[in-house]
Structure formats: C-alpha cells, structure tokens
Structure 1
C-alpha cells in the first residue's frame, strides 16, 4: 500500500464479477468531504452501490487540503496510480476540474477517462494571491477537459458553458445533477427549538427571539458575503442574527464581514470546523437562507436549505434559475445592498410568504432525489464505457 487510501465499494448482485464494468473514481483530500464538490462524488459512489452492472473503487488523498503530502500525492502519485488503474479498469473518473492534468496520463495508458466539471472558470473577481493563483491555474487546465472521453456536469448552464467556452463536443458531455436525500429532519417549532439548544450548548451560539439568516460555504470573493452584511447594517434591526458556517479561506473577506457586523451592532456568529451534525442543526435553527454568490457550479446549499423547509433568498443567477426555478426570492443585482435589504425585509414581515417559499422549495428540491439522479448517472457511465476511445 502507498500513501493513497482506497476502499472498494460494490454490491453483490445477479451478475458475475467478470461481466460488471469496473470504475476507479479519484477523489480529493479526505478532510474535504464536507464541501460540495467532494460531496457530489461521494453521493455518486453511494448511488453506484445500487448498480448491478458496475463495480467502483474510490481512491482519496489522506492528507489536509493544503499540506505538502496532499500536493505530493496529487501531482506525483495520482498520475502514476491513474495510469496503472487504466490498464485494468474500464473507466477512470476524476472528481473535479483541477485533475484535468491527469487526462493525458490516462489516455497515454490507453484508458478511458471521465471528469466531473462543476463549473467553467471565467475571469472573475479575486482577492489576494491565493485566489488569483488558483483561478489562473484552473483556467490553464480547462482546455484539457475537452480531451476526456466523457465530461459529467451538474447543471444545464455548465453544460452549455463547456460546449461554448471549452469546445467540448456535445456528444461527450452529460448532465448529472447533484443528488439529495432528506437526511435532515424538516423544520417545525419543536425541531427549531431543539436545534437552537444544541447550538447554544455545543457551539456557544445563544439565539433568543431573533430571526436567524444562515449562509453556508467559504469566504471566497465570488461568494460576495459582505453584501448581505452591508444590507443588514443598513436595515439596522436588532431582531436579526447572521449565522455564517464554513471556512474563512480568504481572511480579508472574513474580516470585512466581521468588521461590518461589529461596527453596525449586528448579531453575527462565524462557525468553522462544523461537523455534519452541527451543520444539520444550523439549518434547523435558521429562519431563512441567503446566498449572495456571484458564481456557482450548482450551489448545493440552497437545495439543502429548501429540503429542510427554509425560504431562500439568492442571487438571480442562471444556475439558480436552473436549480430552483421560481421557488426562491431572486436578487437581480447581487453586488448592491438594495435588493438584499428589500428581500430580507419581505421575509421578516410576511409570514405567508415564508410559508409559501418553504412549501415550493421543498417540492423543488425533491427533483434532485437520489432516485431521480440515479438513472442519469447510470446512463452517463454506460455511455462512457461503451463508446470507442
């Protein structure tokens, strides 16, 4: 065994092992399982357990995301392992765009390769050297994506972007949305109260009668989190709390939000290192969800919020129109505070609106159940393994 951790995920069925299609799925750093990109692949692996005609082996990196061991495994061991696996597996799957550099290695070994493309990187707003270098690196790799035997993408918006911007052949790209199951108990008065008690006892977050607005994710510049904090500052209401869950990742952006909250007297809590259980309680403790992002590949947190029964206020992006249609309050100019201020005020004042959005949101989110996504995933994998290299 080398530094790479692997586990075999298969399900016994009526087919003989020799007739089943073997897939090797390359994942990212093991501690990154909480983020949306990693969660997508982990959910796909769970779905594949139900396929009688496939067997899948997952390989991950047992190291912290920004550690030396992580980069050594990613750039040195992974290409070697992919070439070795390609000699016996029917398909190699790469979990996100930053592994596009491995496509030529798999093809060199005469293997078939599929890559998951969560979004196309456009020249974007970045802040700080880390964000800027990451964006440039991803844009440098993007042309390789079109060399894959199959590209899987999570929304129709990204499928179109891949065809138009990266030159991916339409017959080499498949839509397979994120899959969701109702793992978090939907909100009612009792559920919300128990969740708030947990946050107080476990995380030190004391919630009284405030209306809690939740946002989950990083503080990358594209997330535009400061816009919501500025809107809350302008509202000047003392009966509102902002709950931010996720890594700072960009310290300057986190500091900007914290400074706005402090100067305006906004009740705000920033939670890092939340477990899956803690995150579930955060959803249940909230009254509404806000997503001021300027760019997303799918935006799984808004669907998680809808499944729990939270009304959602989000940027009016094509990807959110794809995933949520008209089941959310859309802010057409997300960099301006006026739209956020207006929609937050509406949510606070209109109980019927909150109830309507909660109902329509839960109905919308069920479109992405594992059962619904399973057929899409199976079709995509079968298409990739049956076509000629």
Structure 2
C-alpha cells in the first residue's frame, strides 16, 4: 500500500479486523459526529492539514482540503422519509461540505444531477464513480455448513434497509395481491430509529408468509440470493442500488422501480415497474414466476452487466481524481 495513504478511525468501530488489515490509526476521543467534526479536524491540523478523502456520506464542516462522497440527496428529495433531527442535520451539513470540498464523488449521474440541483455546486466538481460487487461475492466457497435450512422453498427476496423511502408498503401490498400460497416474501434488512416505517410494521406483523431477517453473513446472503425466484426493489429514490447488482451477479432476476438511477445503471437487464402501483408490481412478480425459459435472457444480461462494475476500476478513477487536483 502507498505509504502516503493513511487510514484513520475512532475507537470502537464495527470491523476492527479490517482496521488492523489497513493499518488504520485509532484517533481518540469521541465517536460519531463528535469525532468527525471535533476530533478528526484537530488531528488533521496536527498532521499539517493533509488531503482528507471521505467515502461515507458526510464530511468536515470546517476543513477545505477534502474530497467528500455524497451517495444521494434523498433527505432533500423527500424530507418526510427521515426523522426530523436527521433531516435537519443533513440539510445543514451536506450543502456546506459540498461547497467547501475540493471534489465531490458520487455513485451515479442521477445523484450528480440531484447534488447540482440542491447544492448549486459546479457540475465539473462532481465525479461519478460507480459502486461494484464486493470482493466476498466473487470468492468460491463451500455451501456445506451454511445455515439455509430456514429458507422457504420458493420466495421473492428484498435486501436493504427497512424504511419508508424503500416503498416496502407497496411491495407488501403487491405481494398480498399475488395470492400465491406457494411463494413467500423474504425481507432481509434492519430497521433504524431515524428511518422507521411503522406503517410497514403493521402490514407484515404476525404474517407467516412474510419473513424478516437480519445480520446474515456474506455466505448466507449469497446463498439466499441464489435460491430466490427474484429480487424486488421498488424504492422511490436511490443513488445506486447495490443489492440489485449483487443479485444480477449471482443470477437472480431483478424487479425494480422505474426511477432515474435504476434506468441509468440497470436498464433492460432489470424488469422496471411503476413504484406507485401495487398492481403493476404484482403483475411483474407474477410474470417472473411464470416466465420460465424466457427469463434466461434477463438473467444473462444481468450477469454481463454486473461483470462491468469493478472496485479496482473505481479505485483507479479516484486516484486519477486526486492526481488531477
């Protein structure tokens, strides 16, 4: 690794083994926003104010020598999807770091357009660098010993956060309209207080044919994708849609909402539907379940598309951005 590149993090991070592998320096005190806005700037000042690259969705308010990553502007597109405190903080933070930073990285042209619209920054300052398949999804492993016994025999799969922006209420309504006792709906994700979807909770609560799981290992998730009849994601707004790319890589058909980011990235490799219509979503699910051989064309297109995304290429683009400053 380039000795000029240093990784820093607060204490108590989720993946200490990764921090160790990267040789990350633990900088104290604090964590979360306090660490980011107080501890980190003070540490950077002591290091001579080097260039900071932040691949998360935030950055430093009072530090100009930085490259920030803004994945999407969902908090501006529809503030009601978020807790008021979260929305107010991002509404204050994101426009300021966008204007103060040297460069902005984002994950799609759709997100780039939104950033320009809501922050008024120069479009030339924004560089689109796509996400890609995680390395763990490309490694071969034995499925022996992987816990898949609780998977239904036939199911439609959702992978992602459990929150209103994901339009899960319409997805569940569409599933209920399907009226197929042989097909279950499996949702994999976690709820967070800042994005809680209480309407959805009432729709799936105590329903045996709708299952919710969380905290799967990468191997368990891979096996779950492979056995699904289709992945469904009818989100109202996204910057990229990594679970869709993961599903395509593993040969799982994808049904998704007809929104700018999904049209840009997945195109005709996915089955695009109107996210506001439960009937349209139901029809798409039903079509996938009945397509049989005709579905192979979509699956093959998805695999070819997924192979075109690489974190190595994305990393090279980031390095080029840095070198051209």
TM-score with structure 1 setting the length: 0.72
Given that residues 245 and 272 in structure 1 are in contact (C-alpha distance below 8 angstroms), is that contact kept between their aligned partners in structure 2? yes
Is residue 280 of structure 2 the alignment partner of residue 280 of structure 1?
no
Find the counterpart in structure 2 of residue 316 from structure 1: 258
Paired residues, number: 319
Find the counterpart in structure 2 of residue 83 from structure 1: 45
Find the counterpart in structure 2 of residue 138 from structure 1: 90
Structure 2 stretches lacking a partner, 5+ long: none
**Could you tell me how far apart the structure 2 residues matched to 1:224 and 1:299 are?**
14
Find the counterpart in structure 1 of residue 186 from structure 2: 243
Relative to structure 1, is the Cα distance of residues 206 and 155 closer, same or farther in structure 2, using a 3 angstrom cutoff? closer
**Could you tell me how far apart the structure 1 residues matched to 2:269 and 2:302 are?**
5
**Could you tell me how far apart the structure 1 residues matched to 2:285 and 2:175 are?**
8
| SS of 2:148 mapped into structure 1 | helix
Find the counterpart in structure 2 of residue 346 from structure 1: 287
Encode CA deviations 1:170-202: one digit per residue, 9 max, x unaligned: 332212111325643699xxx9xx5897222xx
Find the counterpart in structure 2 of residue 147 from structure 1: 100
Equivalent position to 2:113, from 132, 136, 160: 160
| SS of 2:268 mapped into structure 1 | coil
Is residue 289 of structure 2 the alignment partner of residue 329 of structure 1?
no
Measure how far apart 1:372 and its partner are.
Answer: 3.5
**Could you tell me how far apart the structure 2 residues matched to 1:296 and 1:310 are?**
20
Encode CA deviations 1:48-97: one digit per residue, 9 max, x unaligned: x9xxxxxx97567899xxxx843442343223223334x163x2112233
Relative to structure 1, is the Cα distance of residues 197 and 142 closer, same or farther in structure 2, using a 3 angstrom cutoff? closer
Find the counterpart in structure 2 of residue 94 from structure 1: 54
Structural RMSD (CA) = 3.3
Measure how far apart 1:152 and its partner are.
Answer: 0.9
Find the counterpart in structure 1 of residue 152 from structure 2: 207
Structure 1 stretches lacking a partner, 5+ long: 1-9, 12-16, 34-41, 50-55, 385-389
Relative to structure 1, is the Cα distance of residues 168 and 150 closer, same or farther in structure 2, using a 3 angstrom cutoff? same
**Could you tell me how far apart the structure 1 residues matched to 2:184 and 2:194 are?**
21
Find the counterpart in structure 1 of residue 71 from structure 2: 118
TM-score with structure 2 setting the length: 0.85
- The more displaced of 323-332 and 340-349 is 323-332
Encode CA deviations 1:98-126: one digit per residue, 9 max, x unaligned: 32xx142x23xxxx210011112424153
Measure how far apart 1:331 and its partner are.
Answer: 0.9
Relative to structure 1, is the Cα distance of residues 151 and 308 closer, same or farther in structure 2, using a 3 angstrom cutoff? same
Given that residues 215 and 244 in structure 1 are in contact (C-alpha distance below 8 angstroms), is that contact kept between their aligned partners in structure 2? yes
Relative to structure 1, is the Cα distance of residues 363 and 223 closer, same or farther in structure 2, using a 3 angstrom cutoff? same
Relative to structure 1, is the Cα distance of residues 162 and 251 closer, same or farther in structure 2, using a 3 angstrom cutoff? closer
Given that residues 288 and 310 in structure 1 are in contact (C-alpha distance below 8 angstroms), is that contact kept between their aligned partners in structure 2? yes
Equivalent position to 1:289, from 213, 219, 231: 231
Measure how far apart 1:138 and its partner are.
Answer: 0.9
**Could you tell me how far apart the structure 2 residues matched to 1:252 and 1:88 are?**
35
